Structure 1
């Protein structure tokens, strides 16, 4: 029996498969050898990062075979480099890398602890057993980073009840936060402590601080600033001036280094 023509369904050929296939072929043709090289490089970089993350746990964890008695431990701070750490301890960078099983000397992590072999000695001391501080002893100078200096300066200001911005500003004006520097007049390190000033401050506080060492230099600077703070009753201009020209000169001759004072005050407003 013949069907009603109106009830018949007209079937159209399915072209979706062919169109999608043509789209994929067109996409593949658009990938040039250059694109393939870039894709391959990206994959290699990702794989290398993964391998490094698996092979570079805490640096000190790799040195479990070393006893603590054989190590001086250095905790890595922001801004540290393995080269700077090696210079600080007067050590061979490759020795430190080998002991801590560091594969890439340009890749260390903040917060890790590095084993510095005990046979590696730090720089000679600039402070003698009789309290004398040597002049222009470059071999005794510590190395520092600005991040280390910033942290220690803030800590010292808090311990001695000094304004943080005063401590930071004077240190920047004096040395640019660099420990490994000796001025022509003999000023040492970050706080530019003179040898005779260090000797006098050590006698006053019954201390044994070596201005050639980073921590001790900042400590001496803070001790001196605190003495000036009390001596001039918190008069900021006189304190700043006296740090540069000496307390006796400010008391008897007044402030004559206004340029220095203005520079430090300007830095204080920045910090």
Structure 2
């Protein structure tokens, strides 16, 4: 899985690589090909361990173990051949319901447009993939594909009714009311206090308040309409051009960070297509002279673009600026580019010429 890194202001950064990974990433899933005998897969541009695992109906963990991938499979390169284990288990956990926001205008939605409806069905929303739906409802991609006789999991469309299959679906859930800012440690309250929420990736672990805030933002975005990946791509181009930043750079960066998926929220509470944490969102708000809401797709992209613009102006080289988005510019200046940062920069450079 490609890591998703929070954008951090250059003057307010930790001195180590600040990793903000999430399991939601990458391109539209391919047809499910359950492995009945051991086979291999050749990595193509944009592949992640999660995508490949979903395609062959095995768990990412099993795929990492079968190939002894370092760093949990963070870095897989085009052309690499991966062994697909037979009978790998799935390990997707269901998402919990979003907390009730303390304020916001009433704008409800039916269960058919948000979560599962009674009877174990779900209505596809704009931006959904089967991987997203399976993760939200605690079933596997293969369960949904089999229940609906889908030959190619890319061919789903907004408004389509899908049977969830597999385990019992989640209870009905209404679309949450709009929020004007993301949850953070100061506003999370006791939401999911005492529950086990994702708080680690590899050797990085985040505090309880950060992890619960991330869970709340993830739950919120799972229940709201978001633009498709194609629409996010167009938004990145327009915003980059408006702020004088190379659109190919921002497209590559967002693709590496989230796969152009605005529902992505990492355990470090890095939010949306540009994977910006709330404190960096406040910094970006100061740069543009208005409050940016990272839960809003346009504001999220704006935050990432103006942060990158500032890094480009502050850093000595473009590679240093890109590395600063990943590692933090203060850390880059103090320690140089870490090994994983250099790989991150190579990925961005590669995607600039291939997307």
Supply the distance in 2 between the matched residues of 1:133 and 1:208 (Cα, whole angstroms): 17
- Deviation string, structure 1 residues 123-181 (Cα, Å, up to 9, x no partner): 323358xxx78632235435221111111010011011111110100000000010001
Q: 1:167 to 1:86 in 2, by over 3 A?
A: closer
Measure, in 2, the Cα distance between the counterparts of 1:249 and 1:133.
Answer: 29
The question of whether the paired residues in 1 share the 8 Å contact of 2:127 and 2:227 is answered with no
Q: CA deviation at 1:204?
A: 3.5
**Shift in Å, 1:84:** 2.0
* Aligned residue in 2 for 1:241: 323
Q: 1:208-266 deviations in whole A, cap 9, x for unaligned?
A: 11111111100100110110111125x22111100111111112221111111111111
Is 1:254 equivalent to 2:329 in the alignment? no
Cα distance in 2 between the residues matched to 1:201 and 1:157:
14
Question: For 1:189-218, what per-residue CA distance to the aligned partner results, in whole angstroms no more than 9, with x for missing partners?
Answer: 110001111112213433211111111100
> Which residue of structure 2 lines up, in the alignment, with residue 178 of structure 1?
261
SS in structure 2 of the partner of residue 262 of structure 1: helix
2:182, 2:278 within 8 Å by CA — same for their partners in 1?
Answer: no
**Normalising to structure 1: TM-score of the pair?**
0.53
Instruction: Determine which of 219, 224, 239 is the counterpart of 1:156.
Output: 239
Q: In structure 2, which of residues 259, 271, 283 is the aligned counterpart of residue 200 of structure 1? A: 283
The SS at the match of 1:155 is helix
Structure 2 unpaired stretches of 5+ = 1-106, 108-122, 129-157, 161-174, 189-212
Match of 2:147 in 1: none
SS of 2:324's partner is helix
Which structure has more relative contact order (CA 8 Å, sep 6+)? It is 2
Change in Cα spacing, 1:152 to 1:86, as seen in structure 2 (3 Å) is closer
- 1:122 Cα deviation (Å)? 5.4
Q: Which is worse superposed, 147-156 or 198-207?
A: 198-207
What residue in structure 1 maps to residue 249 of structure 2? 166
Instruction: Please give the alpha-carbon distance, in whole angstroms, between the structure 2 residues aligned to 1:105 and 1:218.
Output: 26
Q: Distance in 1 between matches of 2:237 and 2:290?
A: 21
TM alignment of 1:1-271, pairs within 5 A:
83-84=124-125, 123-127=178-182, 135-136=213-214, 137-141=217-221, 143-233=226-316, 235-256=317-338, 257-271=341-355
Which runs of 5 or more structure 1 residues have no equivalent in the other structure? 1-70, 72-81, 88-103, 107-119
Question: Considering only CA atoms, is the larger Rg found in Structure 1 or Structure 2?
Answer: 1
State the distance in 2 between where 1:236 and 1:86 align. 31
Q: 1:180 is paired with a residue of what secondary structure?
A: coil
The 3 A distance-change label for structure 1 pair 174 and 133 is farther
- Contact 1:133 1:199 survives alignment (8 Å): no
Q: TM-score, normalised by structure 2?
A: 0.41
Compared CA separation, residues 211 and 266, structure 1 to 2 (3 A): same
Distance 1:193 1:225, change over 3 A: same
CA root-mean-square deviation: 3.5
Post-superposition CA distance 1:91-138 (Å, at most 9, x none): xxxxxxxxxxxxx956xxxxxxxxxxxxx985323358xxx7863223
Give yes or no for contact 1:228–1:239 (8 Å, CA) kept in 2: yes
More helix by share: 1
